[in-house]
Chain A
Amino acid sequence: MKAHYQLLIIGGGPAGLSAAAMASAEGVSCAVLDEQPTLGGQIYRSIESIPEQRAQQLGSEYLRGKKIAEAFRNSKAEYYPNTKVWSVNKGREVGVLQDNNTRILTADQIIIASGALERPVPFPGWTLPGVMQAGAGQILYKSAGIVPDNGVVLAGSGPLLLLLAWQYLHAGVEVKALLDVTPLGNHITALPKFPRALLAHHYLTKGIAYQIDLKRAGIPMLFGVSELRAEGKELCQRVCFKHSGKQKTIESELLLTHFGVIPHIWLTQSADCKHQWDDSQQCWRPEHDEWGNTTSEGILVAGDGAGINGARSAEYAGRLAGLEVLNSLGVINQVERDSRAVKYRKWMKDDNHIRPFLEKYFQIPKELLATANNETIVCRCEEVTAGEIRQAVRDGHDNTNQVKFFTRCGMGACQGRQCSNAVAHIVADESGKTVKDMGHFRGRPPVSPLTLEQLASLKKEEI
């Protein structure tokens, strides 16, 4: 790994890999830094090593990753797995951790393609062993062929839930129920976006096909579910909820939940990029132009880390960012950049026709975002409840960072990844302000924890 690259790409998913293939094709010195042991990001996890049979079971969208991986491997871009970026600053100095040693690399241009994470939504019992995120189920399946052995309940709102149910069905897993918490009213409010969604109808037909399969297999799918909670003595033993006006229970030791995905903004925060609250996607994302340039010079974003647009758009966005970098480095001129960009922009536009509808349809209701039940733990690491957060606001700590200082929300090992959104919503709710006003947790480096020895190893390098 060199000390300096023309282009450093952080993240080994579709956006990062596509950007790398694009840029390195023109001779730019380029490296992808991937914290995972193998490439593909989350969506194409284990794409290079997965046994054929399992890959087929995952569906055609997953298989698309193989082409992306191949194109990357055929390019001259360098790939560094197990390489964790713990700091990116405005000066484009990148702190990396590899083999227990830290180094600082520099780059002329950086593309942050660190993707998304599941939107963490606290609900009663969500910290019980046996309650996991749906993405976790996918990762276990993709990377290790591991599936639930005693049945599973899936709950939440979003296309991933349907996909996972279908994948499990075809793997012979007992899906006890799919509980959709999407408010029934969303069917109406999303209707105006539907016509545009038809332009990306392959998404819709796929969704319908999955539903038909699940229905045929007799898997209960309940809609308009509310008051979701997991219960049990120390471990998850049952899932309780309200449906059609009645309280219901399903015995299950495993509950996988999904409430959409949100951009992972810890690196763009570290790089001092400006962020904006996206009302439609209900998340914070870095401000960027149509090429991915953020407000920090020479630092771009691409993929779901820039805003949730899905895997295909991530590929196209990666290419666009790659083209922009080539232009910024003087390798191609603007005319060439713009003309080569045309097709990617078109494909991205076509792909994104589905978004307004999906975002409106799968809007997460306020009771879930601003955790309604006060006994529910919001900060998992420090075990701070929604009630304690509300009390802190009443005591005069009226923004997320003050609440953090007082309650220790966000001061645990996950550095606020699992609680910052919920804290922002609760504080906004309690203080009568909007989440936009709240601001994100002031992220503090290192972006991921470093041991004292790892930090000390920086000394041995020329800094």
Chain B
Amino acid sequence: MFKQLASEQIDTVDIILNGQHVQIPRGISVAAAALSNQQRYTRTTPVSASKRAPFCMMGVCYECLMIIDGKANQRACATLVEEGMTIENQLGVGPALEVEQ
């Protein structure tokens, strides 16, 4: 849906976005990274498993919730990308909680 303007080439970081290694300009948000790398949706809803994608990009809609470095319910628009970050779409309420053994 989106792309980076060609004139903007800078320092990048390597992240894993839904299983793929991609180079992302340093300093942009995870949501921006997803939208500009062919991700058409970034989560499915707990209530009806409908696909959703970032909506407001300013932190007030909570649509952009993704699993970032294993933590669920992270607002992708409010998190800046970092080297080695793992980003995954969040399906429903996310993965089961850990249990102490």
| B contact residues around A127 at 8 Å (CB) | 50, 52
Contact present for A381 and B62 (CB under 8 Å): yes
Of A140-148, A286-294, A331-339, the one with at least 4 CB within 8 A of chain B: A140-148
A63 CB-CB contact with B under 8 Å? no
B28 CB-CB contact with A under 8 Å? yes
Contact present for B52 and A149 (CB under 8 Å): no
| A contact residues around B4 at 8 Å (CB) | 144-146
- With A130-B1, A144-B32, A414-B60 as contacts: A383 and B51 at CB distance below 8 Å: no
A434 CB-CB contact with B under 8 Å? no
Contact present for A149 and B60 (CB under 8 Å): no
Cβ < 8 Å to B, chain A residues 398-418: 412-414, 417-418
**Complex CA–CA separation, A147 to B54 (angstroms):** 14
Contact present for B59 and A35 (CB under 8 Å): yes
- With A37-B80, A143-B29, A150-B1 as contacts: A132 and B57 at CB distance below 8 Å: yes
**Complex CA–CA separation, A417 to B61 (angstroms):** 7
Contact present for A130 and B53 (CB under 8 Å): yes
A382 CB-CB contact with B under 8 Å? yes
**Complex CA–CA separation, A145 to B27 (angstroms):** 11
Contact present for B27 and A414 (CB under 8 Å): no
Cβ < 8 Å to B, chain A residues 132-172: 132-133, 135-136, 139-140, 143-150, 171
| A contact residues around B55 at 8 Å (CB) | 131-133, 136, 380, 418
A91 CB-CB contact with B under 8 Å? no
- With A129-B41, A383-B45, A383-B48 as contacts: A146 and B58 at CB distance below 8 Å: no
**Complex CA–CA separation, A148 to B25 (angstroms):** 17
Contact present for B36 and A264 (CB under 8 Å): no
A53 touches which of B1, B7, B52 (Cβ 8 Å): B7
Contact present for A254 and B29 (CB under 8 Å): no
Q: Which residue of B lies closest to A115 (CB)?
A: B58
B2 touches which of A140, A381, A417 (Cβ 8 Å): A140
**Complex CA–CA separation, A414 to B58 (angstroms):** 12
Contacts between the two chains (Cβ within 8 Å), count: 120
B40 CB-CB contact with A under 8 Å? yes
Specify which of A49, A146, A253, A417 lies most central, judged by the most chain B CB atoms within 10 Å of its CB: A146
Contact present for B60 and A51 (CB under 8 Å): no
- With A129-B52, A146-B36, A383-B45 as contacts: A264 and B60 at CB distance below 8 Å: yes
Contact present for A414 and B57 (CB under 8 Å): no
Cβ < 8 Å to A, chain B residues 54-100: 54-63, 65, 73, 77-78, 80
| A contact residues around B5 at 8 Å (CB) | 54, 145-147, 171
A117 CB-CB contact with B under 8 Å? yes
Contact present for B58 and A135 (CB under 8 Å): yes
Interface 0/1 of B23-53, CB less than 8 Å to A: 0010111001001100011100101101111
> Chain B interface: which size bin?
35 or more
Q: Which residue of A lies closest to B42 (CB)?
A: A129
| A contact residues around B65 at 8 Å (CB) | 413
Cβ < 8 Å to B, chain A residues 114-129: 117-118, 120, 127-129
Specify which of A42, A49, A54, A380 lies most central, judged by the most chain B CB atoms within 10 Å of its CB: A380
Interface 0/1 of B1-32, CB less than 8 Å to A: 11111011000000000000000010111001
**Complex CA–CA separation, A119 to B3 (angstroms):** 26
A395 CB-CB contact with B under 8 Å? no
| A contact residues around B28 at 8 Å (CB) | 143-144, 146
Contact present for A51 and B8 (CB under 8 Å): yes
Q: Which residue of A lies closest to B57 (CB)?
A: A136
Contact present for A418 and B8 (CB under 8 Å): no
| B contact residues around A413 at 8 Å (CB) | 62, 65, 73
A219 CB-CB contact with B under 8 Å? no
Contact present for B41 and A146 (CB under 8 Å): no
Q: Which residue of A lies closest to B9 (CB)?
A: A145
Specify which of B32, B45, B60, B77 lies most central, judged by the most chain A CB atoms within 10 Å of its CB: B60
Contact present for A118 and B56 (CB under 8 Å): yes
| B contact residues around A129 at 8 Å (CB) | 40-42, 51-53
Measured CB to CB, the closest approach of chain B to A257, in angstroms, equals 10
Measured CB to CB, the closest approach of chain A to B82, in angstroms, equals 12
| A contact residues around B63 at 8 Å (CB) | 380
A461 CB-CB contact with B under 8 Å? no
Contact present for A254 and B1 (CB under 8 Å): yes
| B contact residues around A380 at 8 Å (CB) | 52, 55, 61, 63
Contact present for A234 and B51 (CB under 8 Å): yes
- With A117-B56, A135-B56, A412-B62 as contacts: A234 and B50 at CB distance below 8 Å: yes
Name B residues whose Cβ lies closer than 8 Å to a Cβ of A: 1-5, 7-8, 25, 27-29, 32, 35-36, 40-42, 45, 47-48, 50-63, 65, 73, 77-78, 80
Beyond the given A118-B56, A148-B3, A253-B1, please list 5 additional residue pairs across the A-B interface where CB-CB is below 8 A.
Answer: A127-B50, A129-B53, A133-B56, A143-B28, A383-B50
- 9 interchain pairs (CB within 8 A)? A49-B27, A117-B58, A127-B52, A132-B53, A136-B57, A144-B27, A148-B2, A253-B1, A381-B62
- Ordered nearest first, which 5 A-B pairs have the shortest CB separation? A129-B53, A149-B3, A136-B57, A413-B62, A145-B8
